[in-house]
Structure 1
Amino acid sequence: MVNHKESITSYQASAIIANTTLGASMVIMPRAMAQAASTPDGWIALLLMSSVYIVFIFVNVLMMKKVPFSSYYDYTKEGLGKWIGSFANLLIIIYFLGVASYEVRAMSEMVKFFLLQNTPTTVTILSFILVGFYLVIGGIGDFARLCPFFLIVTLIILFVAYGFSLQEFKLDNLRPVLGEGFSPVMKSLNASAISFVGIEMMLFMPAYMKTQKHTFAYSTVGFLIPSIIYIFTYVLVVGALTVKETATLTWPTIALFQSFDIQGIFIERFESFLLIVWLVQLYTSFVGYTFFAAIGVSKLTKLPKIMVLALMTIVIYFAAIFPKDVDTVRNYLIYVNNLFFLLFGILPFLLFVIVVLKRRRKST
């Protein structure tokens, strides 16, 4: 059982899922979608993939109600046995650490490009990791209380900034709809799928929930928030900058907010606020992944928390500095997406079937 101090509410669980999904994807997603589709129809791919993930949530909730479990790491061992289950857990930990290192490197590239050009990347990365681990040590209770506040601030700033960005929006840049058929949409589905990495957190939440009656509700709300933001972001960026220009920009979302001025008020540019907001989102996403990775490492090795975090610091640091440039960093997402499909697209269904059969055998 989870200590009461570590239990979280459905509202907090929704915020954790939303914040974890809203990592670096929003500021680079329009470029990836534009490059994959080469047409303005990427928003259709985002809608389709959102529907697929809603089904994913619904099916997983049904399976969790049929075969309840306290910890997903223990669930894998119950289904696959001690050794194969431990190997599957190791892959999950590698996946979490991979996403965490990607968030760290994306953060350092953003900071270096826009804010601290002369600061060494290693300094930025280490500072970010240590500040993140400070919150990890506090436990999921502290993290859960922080996520709703960060999410509300993010939504307010984005709402205001998107409103001002409408002055640059041109509907003709999104036309013609399906001008080249459905093929470009299919090509961009994979790029859109990567943007929703973070929804898998719903599988690890039950161990920390005060009640598990509203799993579908908090998971769906937590997913729909970034989903809607992504669709609005893509439509506004492509509508303002055109799909060809979006495909060539390193940070197209930030470029959108740099493209307009606001006269007559003391704030004339909003990209600085967007950078601050997204550094916070990168931070919460990093903390979420490192927390659940640390839980997995602790279960796998039985090492003390401090030693676990020390080992994870080394792994995340070297994984973050390994890519040579921004384009190499983006290639991380390809491996992340493949692992996501294996570990959370296929494995849960396999575990469900095996565990159901095992529990029925024990009950007879």
Structure 2
Amino acid sequence: MSSSNPISKENISTSQAAVMVINYMLGAGILTLPRTTVDAVRTPDAWISIIVSGLIVMAAGWIVVLLCKRFQGKTWFQFVPEITGKWIAFILSLLVIGYFIVISAFEIRILAEVTGLFLLEDTPMWAIVLPFMWIGLYLTLGGINCIARLYEIILPITLVFLVLALMLSSTIFEMDNLRPVLGSGPMPVLRGIKPTLLSFTGYEIMLIATAFMKFPKKATRAVIAGISVPVVIYTFTVVMVIGGMSIDGVKTRTWPTLDLMRSFEVQGLIFERFESLLLVIWIMQIFSTYTVTLYAASLGWSQVFNKKFRPFVFALLPVIFLIAMIPKDVTEAFKLGDTVGYASVFLFGVIPLILLLVSLVRKKGATSK
């Protein structure tokens, strides 16, 4: 790692790398995936599209870690010049940095939209976003080890309460809403692959995290585990949302998962309504995605220009804030998210495969198992 990087001596375990991938993936998709998938599939088979997309993303993640393991101890920004040369690597690095910046901006914009609608009505958007960004700045300055340790705390809380809330929605669950399976054949399932792929962005953090792993040879295990958990969570969420609200009910809701939580009550518990609880754990996941992408973008700048890490973290905050404020409404924010999702397919699905093949042909990097 670059000597100009003050966090270069940090390292993370295999489980921490997996947790980083999980927390990155479980962002805005928890609330929007049922609607976007159902819009594309238009049958109860949306959950099958999620499983198929998950398998595709696992293959992409496997390719990413194969590439990274050939250059152990180096991030994307450090090993790509060895494969392509300085100038092509510079362009690719800028694209990846730009991607992480826009993902950060998108996540905090969605946070502001949902929080302003359900929790803090009539609160100015900047008043929601800025405290969130500054807290994220504090964590990011601590480095990847601090980020990973916090994620290890956030993830179990998220999984327990999310699964609990979804299980309690079984009081309004109707199995008939999920039938017939493949009643219209496989084509609707295939149509649902594209929008579901966009919700599985997150495995690309291994382009950076692998360099910090104590045992980089276990990166494949980390990325497969990191993708598997969101696949299960997303599938379970979509099944429960469709089962509780039906296909027609899901298509007409902007935030169907939240609407599901608002559609039932459980008497006698501390929380009789669960949408606020779901929002709390969802905000923690948005925080995870925001901080890890802020970290990745800042680290990218510092390594591309061989400068110190901390100034770039501060410099990126106003940039992220301005990008987050560009969409005029939630519809434009969703379009921004779709655009970034399509870019991720090219940046982290196609380019790593090309670079892996080039590195093999040119015999760059070390052979790893």
TM-score range, shorter chain: over 0.9
Residue 66 of structure 1: CA displacement?
4.8
Cα distance in 2 for residues equivalent to 1:317 and 1:40: 38
Q: Secondary structure at the match of 1:266?
A: coil
Residue 360 of structure 1: CA displacement?
6.3
Q: Please name the residue that 1:250 is paired with.
A: 254
Of the three residues 265, 268, 273, the one matched with 2:269 is 265
The aligned length equals 362
Q: Which amino acid aligns with 1:158?
A: L
Q: Pick closer, same or farther for the CA change 1:147–1:360 going to 2, 3 Å.
A: closer
Q: How does 1:34-113 map to 2 (within 5 A)?
A: 34-66=38-70, 68=72, 70-113=74-117
Cα distance in 1 for residues equivalent to 2:112 and 2:334: 13
Q: Please name the residue that 2:203 is paired with.
A: 199
TM-score in terms of structure 1 length? 0.95
Q: How does 1:1-364 map to 2 (within 5 A)?
A: 1=1, 6-66=10-70, 68=72, 70-359=74-363
Residue 356 of structure 1: CA displacement?
2.8
Q: Pick closer, same or farther for the CA change 1:336–1:4 going to 2, 3 Å.
A: closer
Q: Secondary structure at the match of 1:214?
A: helix
Aligned residues of 2:63 and 2:352 also touching (Cα < 8 A): no
Residue-by-residue CA offset, 1:25-44 (whole Å, 9 max, x unaligned)? 11111011111111111111
Residue 5 of structure 1: CA displacement?
5.7
Residue 68 of structure 1: CA displacement?
4.4
Q: Pick closer, same or farther for the CA change 1:338–1:258 going to 2, 3 Å.
A: same
Aligned residues of 2:72 and 2:211 also touching (Cα < 8 A): no
Cα distance in 2 for residues equivalent to 1:225 and 1:10: 15
Cα distance in 2 for residues equivalent to 1:231 and 1:361: 38
Residue 131 of structure 1: CA displacement?
1.2
Q: Pick closer, same or farther for the CA change 1:121–1:344 going to 2, 3 Å.
A: same
Aligned residues of 2:40 and 2:188 also touching (Cα < 8 A): yes
Cα distance in 2 for residues equivalent to 1:117 and 1:9: 41
Most deviating of 106-115 and 198-207 = 198-207
Aligned residues of 1:101 and 1:319 also touching (Cα < 8 A): yes
Aligned residues of 2:178 and 2:239 also touching (Cα < 8 A): yes
Residue 218 of structure 1: CA displacement?
1.3
Q: What RMSD, in angstroms, separates the aligned Cα atoms of the two structures?
A: 1.9
Most deviating of 331-340 and 252-261 = 331-340
Residue 361 of structure 1: CA displacement?
12
Q: Pick closer, same or farther for the CA change 1:237–1:325 going to 2, 3 Å.
A: same
Most deviating of 13-22 and 301-310 = 301-310
Aligned residues of 1:29 and 1:195 also touching (Cα < 8 A): yes
Most deviating of 127-136 and 303-312 = 303-312
Residue 354 of structure 1: CA displacement?
2.3
Cα distance in 1 for residues equivalent to 2:317 and 2:70: 38
Aligned residues of 1:22 and 1:281 also touching (Cα < 8 A): yes
Structure 1: gaps of 5 or more residues = none
Most deviating of 14-23 and 203-212 = 203-212
Q: Pick closer, same or farther for the CA change 1:68–1:265 going to 2, 3 Å.
A: closer
Cα distance in 2 for residues equivalent to 1:306 and 1:200: 22
Most deviating of 61-70 and 235-244 = 61-70
Cα distance in 2 for residues equivalent to 1:59 and 1:72: 13
Aligned residues of 1:202 and 1:219 also touching (Cα < 8 A): yes
Q: Which amino acid aligns with 1:275?
A: L
Cα distance in 2 for residues equivalent to 1:348 and 1:69: 17
Q: Pick closer, same or farther for the CA change 1:88–1:237 going to 2, 3 Å.
A: same
Residue-by-residue CA offset, 1:313-360 (whole Å, 9 max, x unaligned)? 121111101001111111112211221122111111221222233336
Residue 308 of structure 1: CA displacement?
1.3
Q: Secondary structure at the match of 2:215?
A: coil
Identical positions, percent: 34
TM-score in terms of structure 2 length? 0.93
Structure 2: gaps of 5 or more residues = none
